[in-house]
Amino acid sequence: MRAHHRLVMATATAAALTGGLLTLTAAPATAADSTTVAKADFNGDGIGDLATSASAAYVGGKKGAGQVVVLYGTRTGVTGSKRTTITQDTPGVPGGAEAGDAFGGALAYGDFNGDGYDDLAVGITHEKVGDDVNGGAVALLWGSKSGLTGKGADLPDPAVGSHDFWGHNLAAGDFDGDGRTDLVVGASGSTLYLYKGGFSSAGTAASRTTVKPPIQGGTGEDPLAPLNLTAGDVNGDGRTDLVVDGYETKTRYGWNTNYWLPGTANGLSTAAAKKLRAGIITGIGDINGDGYGDIVSGAFWDSGKVDDGTPLPDASTGGRVNITYGSVSGPDRNAAIDQNTGNVPGASEKGDAFGGELDLGDINGDGYQDLVISSIFEDLGNASDAGLVTVLYGSASGVNTATKAQSIAQSTAGVPGNDEKGDHFGMDVKLDDVTGDGRADLLVGSDEDGGDGALVYLPSDGTKITATGSRFVGVKNVGVSATGTPWFGSIIAN
């Protein structure tokens, strides 16, 4: 999923853990279809592209209608000039732009129709369906030699009335191993819908089944379930698995509890589900190069206790990331990292939200997936909640916390912009090869200029992420209205 998850985190506290008290809308991180995180390529030129959104943007004077922006990769990275900007008023896009629709509230990519070009699934989280104000909708936008042009199809809600926020979560992968890209769609209920690949131009899938992980469902205006859907091959069998971030149903606390659902020849198996460590934002990639996808989840809340004195599970001051390494039998050994681990830059401080966003990609081409982690509410100098990102590198033994780590903020030499109050640098992050050199580059979203939003492109120099050749892409560069708070760059497709 990708709904703007402003971790409004005057409240990122104990309350953020419990189902009834969650105060943010989180979003799924990397949706990999193998142990090496797949890049999006909407125009088939072999260079990675970036799909992001401004889900709260004005369109034709309609507040919060939302826009999607695709930045096409080139040998020099991404800019605002080579792009496609799409709304529901774009010819061929299902529906029409309406106030509050949040077009682009969730994004996932894959070649759904099998024509060799990646397509984009777009959640229209608050689309009104009949009298249902927050019914939700999903649009499939087809890739082509010209990229995304707006041609697409509607993916109808199969259970209108049984839930809201259809398309609140999206994840793409080959879950049955038949060589075609499938799509999982979530809403406010705990039931997921798995569409088998081979979509027609009208949006008809080869088949549809339901998947029911053991998590809470949402109610009313609170689309709690699931929080995130993340795809990747954890057991190395060539089928994509799914990690579902949600809340457990067995205690009165409703703790954040996540599950691994393995892919099988018949789709996703809930019978073989395994409980995982906590975290809201999840990514999957092969950190140690053993051929199995490793699961990384951001548990960004501070340690503490609930009212009756029960301690919060999986909690660290300032937040942490939990890592579960993959194996032939699925999730295996665990590890945890915070800003006090090894030589990780900085220090664990209350309210930093370390793990508020994350992604994986191979920055230096050594065959090990590297990890970028956001501390969205990091205070820098006099700038509260300025935000920064940490880059940790993979190795044969897992995440390397002893050497090579990088800390990047807008005050880092050569990085565009400045540390400013409320920027939340790292509101979303993406590691993807947008230059075609085989190395993952870094894209960082922020709440620049009070919620206008922006992306900062930081290339790989073949060894590490560098500010040399970096650039700033803001709303003025991509044709998004700066009226209100469009939140451009806070949702990046995975």
* pTM, to two decimals: 0.93
Question: What average pLDDT does this structure show over 77-84?
Answer: 96
- Is residue 173 within 8 A of residue 31, CB to CB? The reply is yes
Q: Which residue has the tokens 């950190």?
A: 287
* Residue from 242, 248, 193 nearest 20 by CA: 248
Whether residue 171 is predicted with pLDDT greater than 60 in this model: the reply is yes
Query: How much is the pLDDT for 3?
Result: 37
Percent of the chain surpassing pLDDT 90: 81
Question: What average pLDDT does this structure show over 19-35?
Answer: 36
Identity (one letter) of the amino acid at 61?
G
Using one digit for the tens of pLDDT, what is the confidence trace for 444-467? 999 999 999 999 999 999 999 999
Query: How much is the pLDDT for 424?
Result: 97
Query: How much is the pLDDT for 18?
Result: 44
Question: What average pLDDT does this structure show over 169-181?
Answer: 96
Question: What average pLDDT does this structure show over 253-272?
Answer: 94
Whether residue 11 is predicted with pLDDT greater than 60 in this model: the reply is no
Average model confidence (pLDDT) across the chain: 90
Whether residue 23 is predicted with pLDDT greater than 80 in this model: the reply is no
Whether residue 392 is predicted with pLDDT greater than 60 in this model: the reply is yes
Question: What average pLDDT does this structure show over 331-351?
Answer: 95
- DSSP 3-state of 327: coil
**Percent helix, percent strand, percent coil in the chain, to nearest 5:** 5, 35, 65
Question: What average pLDDT does this structure show over 67-90?
Answer: 97
Query: How much is the pLDDT for 209?
Result: 97
